[in-house]
Every structure is written in structure tokens, then in C-alpha cells.
Structure 1
């Protein structure tokens, strides 16, 4: 079996997570400690990629340009008959392999997962940024495609704005049904992954013996777990109450999203225990972070300063301190040191939000109050998206 050199037992960041961090409580939910030798079975997925999407990109995006290819994809999702041949044939072939409503999908359960994500409000976006995204930089391998596609040069502001735009859109009620905005955004993202992979392999010195394939299926599963299981853990650390059936709902939601993104169904977990095992196998066989990891972490740390909101320099500096506080609160000081993050004292004012979450837990048990919290949380998320898009568009217009 071909084994890339990135595949090694982790002895730093993720090892600490499972022995002294949040992972300790996760492992208690399993009947026994996972056997790391089982991870060997997953190594081939480091060399597997989303071949249907790659084929579509070759027949569509590489023929007409990436921007035009995405336009044709969007047009096809609205009215396939309006797309000219041969591009319609390529799109027909791609979408023939996708069931928009497979037999295993429970729409009611999926919408329950969306409701949890909406109720998380601003705390949900904080967890995504300061725990899931920043914590993901602790692996050198999964972030290498970002380096090879020039993400550092493009800046953390745009990357974060794109992530918020994507996440908020797919967390709209009913948005993941075929033809809706969430479904469209997932498919557009799948093409971005395929286009990036093809270009990295064709135009750079990417070393498959070191890293496997860029945006391979095992790393895609890890990203999916970041948005699902790790997101849940982060919310719980923020004193946000999630019931067992809600955990199952969030996992089901991301199983469907993962399926639409081209992740093999057999990799996607149905239960919390399966998700914990999957996260353990991936994290514990990851090469520790490197200089690129720290550069990405540094860029995200400074993102509030480089952003265009708040408008005052003092406000942006305070925002930086608040996010740094959440980095330390959620990730822990050990991980933050490895990533080279600064410490903060004045950012501790952000703990008031954690206390607010704790106070809301009793209300969340009451049906009427629960819906009010969902509505309020969703409004917070929509406002953050509006801010990111408004101020980023303003800056882009200045540059042009």
C-alpha cells in the first residue's frame, strides 16, 4: 500500500487534544479507545479524489474559463434546457450520478440540524472562525492546497467572507433542496475544489508522495467533521446546550452536504460515536503544523485589523482581542502556542457571551421560546453576512 509521508502518529497538537483537551470527554462516549491501526484502512482515501467533478471541470470550466463555467452550472440548476451543447451533456452526465433526495435522507432531521445551527446565532459563527477554522491549521497537510492556490496572498478577509457567505446560505430553511441557493452553493464549492486540485497538480510542484492528492477524500471528510462534530463541541464549550437528538440532526445535515460535495457515503458518520472515531483516526495520523500553518494562523489572527468593519481602527483592534480570547478559550493555550497566537487580557470581556448562552439554555427547552431563539440567532447570522459582504464589496470597488 502506498503511504504518503504525511501519515504519521501525531505527538503534538492533536495528541494533546485527545489526552488533555476536549477530546478526553469525547473518548468517554465510546465503548473503548479506538485502535489507531484501523486508520491504515483509510490511507487509500488520501489518493482518492472527486473524479466526477474533475471530469466536469475538464469538459466545462477548462473550456470556457472558471467564471463562465460557474455561470453555466448555475444556469443548469435553474433550467437545464437553457444550457447549450456540449456543456449540457457534460452537466447531464455529472448530475446523473447525484440523487437530490436519496432514500437514506430524512428532510425533517436535516431541517432540525439547520435549526440548531440557526439557534447558535453569533456564537455559531465565532465557533466556526475561532475553533474550527483556526484549529484546522494545526495540521500541515490539509492546509497545503491553500498555500498552493495562493490563499495567503488573497488574504484572510476574503477567505473568511467567502466562508461566512457559504455557511449562512446553506443554513437557510429549505436551501439544500435542488435548485435552491444552498444546493447551488454546495455545487459551486465542489467545482472550486476540483478546479483547484486539477490546477495544483498541473501547474505546481505538488508532491503526492508527501501529501497525497490535494483536497483528497479523507481530508474532505475531516473538513466535514470540522463543520459538524467539532462545531458541536465548540458550541458546547461556549455553554450552548445541544440535546443528543440535535447532535444526530447536525450530523445528518452534514452527511447530506458531504454527499453533495462528493465524499463517499461510507466515510460519512450517522452517529456521534462514529463521528468521534472518524475524527480520532484522521487527527491522530496527521503531521503536526509547520511554518505554513503558523502563517495561516497569523493571517487569521490579524484579519480583524485588515478587515473593513468596524470602521474605526480602535474597534478593529478590539475585535482582534475578542477573537484571540475565543481562540484561547476554545482551543486552549497549548494549541495557541503551537500556532504562534498572541495572548490577550482585554478580550476577556467576550466571556459575557458565554454567560448569555448559559442563561438561554432554560429558555431553549420551551417550544415557543426556542423558536424565538432560532429567529434571533438567524437574524444575527444574516447581519454578519451583510456586514462582510457590504464592506468587502466597498473595498473591492475602491480597488477597481
Structure 2
């Protein structure tokens, strides 16, 4: 990796210096330098798509994914460069291990749901990492929809057996990679992005830490709920998220090649990212006030009348509890909230389920995963939530319109 000259910012320089006193030099270097690197391969594809006729690039992408051909007629060379290593995975990719990792990740839905929400809140809590969300106004104005679309992607990406080329999880993950590239292009062109202060928009470090959050935070929840995972099970889950990170364009030196490295990389990044700011407050408050469209469980004529009362109450209950858990997780000096009423309840349920699972009463890992995934998808469906992850074709236009 070529060493970059990091634009000088006194506060960031001080945070980097402090991180060097705690973490290995090469870990700090990886975090700091990759604040100024992005997924250039897909950035070039998006730039090439912009030169084609309206919608032509997306039609070519659809054809490439349908046929598993990285170079369909009319496609730019950049698309072939992007797709070839994805359609022909590296030797370390083990599809059976990844499939089993997805099953294990879904052993207990509350651990996944809290971990997923916690990853989103963590991104909001840093004053530089939150800038793509803050400036791409969909998050502030449509906090609930943002979470729903993220949840739909997670459900798709972790659907066991679908992350292979040609599978629905593979395709949806690649499309989210295009979403990031579209937003990044918009932020660079809008004239308001401050690279020296915030790093590149949707930079490589941020992507790596997000993938690490989806890996590490649910595992922390499994520990909190007294549901220990064996070493081989942890390794399968690690391989799941390492592969998803690869599909999302995370560079190799930042992929979670081990849980230990993912953990120390995350801890170092938390020291280097900027502290909470005004955007942290705005984005978090939006989730606490309207992050759960609970009124949609009622008949549609009642939505507009009940939303002002129901959304703040239920959003605060759900996101507030998640926020407390996340704060404890992100702060090593804080004791985990093991005695929080919600955690106590979920732990008791988890213990009972574990007894049944170990006795073979809950079926195979695959059968358990199917039922646990239905818990999240069922709630989303009942609330008439966003039906799918955000489409890259609407990633920017929707933000401007809203």
C-alpha cells in the first residue's frame, strides 16, 4: 500500500498521535491512510455509466448479473474490471463456510437486530464518519426508511446460500456498492464536501468499520445473552462478513481476516474518528423520534393521525435501549448493560432456547435461521416497510427530492 500524505488537521493529528500510544503502528497507519482512499474501481464504473445513454449502464449491469458475464455487449472496460474478481472469487472464499456462517449469524434474531441498529448508531456517533449520511438528507428526513432499507439489504445479504455469484444476496450487495459510489460521486460534485476535515466520502476505513460492526456487534450480543459460539462457528461467521466486505469493495488490508485484527482495527478507528457533533445529534434524534413507523401496523387511514403520537414513543423505547447498549459497547470504560430490563428478558429467552437447541428440539442451524429471519422480515412486512434495499438509480435523486 502506497503511503499517502494525510491532509493536516490539528485535531485529527492529535487523535492519531494518541492512537499510536495504544495501538500498533501498522494498525493506526491502515486506519488513518484509508480515510483518504475509496473504492476507485466502482467509482470508474459509475463515471463510465454517466457517459452512456439514460439508463443504459444499469441495463448492462442487469445483463451482466443475469448472465454472469463480466463483459456483456456495450459494457465499459471498467465493469469487466469490477466484476471479474467477484464472479471468479479468490481461493480463500469457501461458499459452504459462508452459507453456514449466515445460518449461525441468525441463531437468535434479537442479537442480530440490536447489532444491526447499533452499527447504524455507531456511524452517526462520529463527526466525520456521519457526514455522508448527514449530507445525503434521506437519513435525517426519512430515518425509518433508512433503517428499513438497511434491514432489507442485511436480510438479503445474509440469506444462507445466496452470496454466490448469481445469487440474490450477491446481487443486492453489489448494488449497495453502487449506491455508495453514486452517493460518493454526488458528494464530490456538490461543492460542500471538505476532504481535509472528513476524509474522502464513504472512505475505505469507514466501509471496513461498518462491515466490522455487522460482524463484531452481534457477536458481542451473543456473549451478552449468554449464547457462546464455538471457535469454528465464530470462524464461519467471520468468513461470511469477510466475503461480504470483499463484495462491497473493502480493500484486502482492511478485511476482517481474523476477529482479533477486526477488533483492534475497530478500536483504533474509534480513537481516530472525530468526536460527536451537531450532525450526530440531528441524526440520532431523528431515529429516536421517528425511526420506527409503528403506526403502519394499523389500517392506513389511521397512519397520519396516529404517527405523531406513536412514532416518538416506540422509537424512543427501541432506539433508546439500543443506544444505551451501543454506548457501553463502544466505550471500553463502561460496563455492558447486562442488567438492562430488555437485556435481562432477552437473555432469559436465549437461555431457554439454547437448552432446546442443544437437545435438538429446534432443528438444524438452517431451520433455525429460517425462523429467526422471519422475525425481522415479518415485522418489516407488517409495518409496510420499504420493500427492498435502496436502488442505486434512486440513491441520489431521492435524497435531492426529499
1:58 is aligned to 47
2:35 is matched with which residue? 46
Aligned to 1:291: 278
Distance 1:62 1:386 in 2: 38
Name the CA shift for 1:89/1:80 in 2 (closer, same or farther; >3 Å).
Answer: farther
Assess, with a 3 A threshold, how the Cα gap between structure 1 residues 253 and 100 changes in structure 2: closer, same or farther.
Answer: farther
Q: Determine the C-alpha separation between the residues in 2 that align with 1:272 and 1:8.
A: 27
Q: For residue 319 of structure 1, what is the aligned residue in structure 2?
A: 314
Specify the alignment match of 1:377 in structure 2.
372
Residues 147 and 68 of structure 1, relative CA distance in 2, 3 Å threshold: farther
Which position in structure 2 is the counterpart of 1:109? 97
Shift of 1:369: 2.7
Match of 1:21 in 2: none
Distance change >3 Å, CA 69–CA 317, structure 1 → 2: same
* TM-score of the two chains, using structure 2 as the length reference: 0.79
Shift of 1:210: 0.7
Give the match's secondary structure for 1:7.
Answer: helix
For residue 334 of structure 2, what is the aligned residue in structure 1? none
TM-score, structure 1 as length reference: 0.79
The residue number in structure 2 matching 1:343 is none
Q: Secondary structure at the match of 1:284?
A: helix
Q: In structure 2, how many angstroms separate the alpha carbons of the residues matched to 1:70 and 1:384?
A: 31
Aligned-residue Cα RMSD (Å) equals: 3.3
Equivalent-residue separation in structure 1 for 2:35 and 2:92 (angstroms): 26
Q: Give yes or no for contact 1:200–1:214 (8 Å, CA) kept in 2.
A: yes
Residue equivalent to 2:336: none
- Is 2:382 the partner of 1:387? yes
Q: Secondary structure at the match of 1:177?
A: coil
The 5 A counterparts of 1:346-361 are: 348=341, 351-361=344-354
Quote the offset at 1:162 in angstroms.
0.7
Cα distance in 2, alignment partners of residues 172 and 151 from structure 1: 26
- Seen in structure 2, the aligned counterparts of structure 1 residues 50 and 82 have a Cα distance that, compared at 3 Å, is closer
Matched, 1:227 2:214: yes
What's 1:209 paired with? 196
Taking the aligned partners of 2:321 and 2:184, their CA distance within structure 1 comes to 32
Runs of at least 5 residues in structure 2 that lack an aligned partner in the other structure: 332-339, 388-402
1:349-387 deviation line (CA, Å, top 9, x unaligned)? 674233211222223334553525333212213313423
Higher deviation after alignment, 134-143 or 164-173: 134-143
**Structure 1 residue aligned with 2:133, among 120, 128, 146?**
146
Contact conserved, 1:10 with 1:283, CA < 8 A, in 2? no
Contact map agreement 2:140 2:282 (CA 8 A) in 1: no
The number of residue pairs the alignment matches comes to: 363
State the Cα deviation string for residues 182-214 of structure 1 (Å, max 9, x = none). 111111011111111111111232111111101
Cα deviation, residue 173, structure 1: 1.8
Question: Could you tell me how far 1:279 is from its partner in structure 2?
Answer: 1.0
Q: Which residue is 1:330 aligned to? A: 325
Q: Distance in 2 between matches of 1:378 and 1:307?
A: 19
1:87 matches 2:107: no
- Counterpart Cα distance in 1 of 2:70 and 2:264: 45
Is the contact between residue 64 and residue 72 of structure 2 (CA under 8 Å) also seen in structure 1? no
Measure, in 2, the Cα distance between the counterparts of 1:305 and 1:93. Answer: 40
SS state at 1:172 partner: coil
Pairwise CA distance, 1:308: 4.2
Question: Quick one: distance in 2 between partners of 1:355 and 1:322?
Answer: 20
**Bigger Cα displacement from structure 2, 299-308 vs 119-128:** 299-308
Alignment match of 2:258 (pick from 266, 271, 289): 271
- Does the 8 Å contact 1:322/1:348 carry over to 2? no
Instruction: Return 242-251 or 187-196, whichever deviates more.
Output: 242-251
Structure 1 residue runs of 5 or longer lacking an equivalent are: 16-32, 337-346, 394-400
In 2 relative to 1, CA 381–226 (structure 1 residues): closer, same or farther, beyond 3 Å?
same
CA contact (8 A) 1:75 1:82 kept: no
